[in-house]
Amino acid sequence: MPSLPILDHEVFDRYAGLSLPRHVSYPMPNWWKPLDADEALAIWADVASPARTRGLSLYLHIPFCESMCKFCGCNRTIVRKNSKGAKDRTRRYLDALLADVCSRGRMFDRSRVVHQIHWGGGTPTYLEPDEIRELHGATREAFTIDPGAEISIEIDPRVTTRLQLETLRELGFNRISLGVQDFNPKVQKHVHRIQPYAMVDELVRHCRELGFESVNFDLIYGLPYQTIESVENTVRQTITLSPDRVAFYHYAQIPEKIANQRGIHHDAMPDSQTKLVMFLSAVVLFEAAGYEFVGLDHFAKSDEILTRAVENHTVHRTFQGMTTGAALDLIGMGASSISTLHEIGFLHNIRNPDEYADAIESGTEVSQRGMRLSHDDVIRQTLINDLYSHGAIVPGDLEAQFDIVFCEYFADEIERLRTLEADGLIEIDDQLNIQLAFPLGRVLMRNVAAVFDAYLSGDAFRTGELHLYSVNA
Ligand X SMILES: C[S@@+](CC[C@H](N)C(=O)[O-])C[C@H]1O[C@@H](n2cnc3c(N)ncnc32)[C@H](O)[C@@H]1O
Q: Which residues bind ligand SF4 (CB under 6 A)?
A: 65, 68-69, 72, 74, 76, 121-123, 156, 179
Q: Which does 298 bind (CB under 5 to 8 A by kind): ligand X, ligand SF4, none?
A: none
Q: How far is the CB of 109 from ligand X (least distance, A)?
A: 32
Q: Which is closer to ligand X, CB of 181 or CB of 368? A: 181
DSSP 67: S
- Euclidean distance between CA atoms 135 and 326, whole angstroms: 25
Q: Which is closer to ligand X, CB of 218 or CB of 244? A: 218
Q: How far is the CB of 367 from ligand X (least distance, A)?
A: 21
123 lies in the site for ligand X, by CB under 6 A: yes
Q: Which does 151 bind (CB under 5 to 8 A by kind): ligand X, ligand SF4, none?
A: none
74 lies in the site for ligand X, by CB under 6 A: yes
DSSP string, 198-224: HHHHHHHHHHHHHT-SEEEEEEEES-T
Q: How far is the CB of 470 from ligand X (least distance, A)?
A: 8
Q: 306: alpha, beta or left, given left = phi > 0 and alpha = psi -120 to 50?
A: alpha
251 lies in the site for ligand X, by CB under 6 A: yes
Q: Which does 218 bind (CB under 5 to 8 A by kind): ligand SF4, ligand X, none?
A: ligand X
Distances (CA, A) of 326 to 208, 318, 373, 385, 469: 28, 9, 16, 10, 22
User: How many CB atoms lie under 10 A from the CB of residue 172?
Assistant: 13
- Euclidean distance between CA atoms 454 and 60, whole angstroms: 31
Among 26, 64, 71, 143, binds ligand X (CB under 6 A): 71
Q: How far is the CB of 317 from ligand X (least distance, A)?
A: 15
- Euclidean distance between CA atoms 436 and 389, whole angstroms: 11
Q: How far is the CB of 324 from ligand X (least distance, A)?
A: 18
Q: Enumerate residues 6+ apart whose C-beta is below 8 A from 343.
A: 373, 378
156 lies in the site for ligand X, by CB under 6 A: yes
Q: Which is closer to ligand X, CB of 72 or CB of 335? A: 72
Q: Which does 249 bind (CB under 5 to 8 A by kind): ligand X, ligand SF4, none?
A: ligand X
318 lies in the site for ligand X, by CB under 6 A: no
Q: Which residues on neighbouring strands pair with residue 298, listed in sequence order?
A: 247, 294
Q: Which does 243 bind (CB under 5 to 8 A by kind): ligand X, ligand SF4, none?
A: none
Q: How far is the CB of 272 from ligand SF4 (least distance, A)?
A: 23
Q: Which is closer to ligand SF4, CB of 44 or CB of 319? A: 319
Q: Which is closer to ligand SF4, CB of 175 or CB of 316? A: 175
450 lies in the site for ligand X, by CB under 6 A: no
Closest C-alpha among 384, 382, 377 to residue 345: 377
Q: Which does 68 bind (CB under 5 to 8 A by kind): ligand SF4, ligand X, none?
A: ligand SF4
Cβ atoms 158, 196 nearer than 8 A? no
Q: How far is the CB of 214 from ligand SF4 (least distance, A)?
A: 20
Helices 228-241 and 197-210 cross at an angle (nearest 10°) of: 30
121 lies in the site for ligand X, by CB under 6 A: yes
Q: Which segments of 222-344 are extended strands (E)?
A: 245-250, 291-294, 298-301, 316-318, 321-323, 329-333, 338-341
Residue 87: which H helix or E strand, with range? helix 86-107
Cβ atoms 244, 295 nearer than 8 A? no
Q: How far is the CB of 223 from ligand SF4 (least distance, A)?
A: 12
What is the Cα Rg of the chain in Å? 22
Residue ranges binding ligand X (CB under 6 A) = 65, 71-74, 120-123, 154, 156, 179, 181, 218, 220, 249, 251-253, 471-472
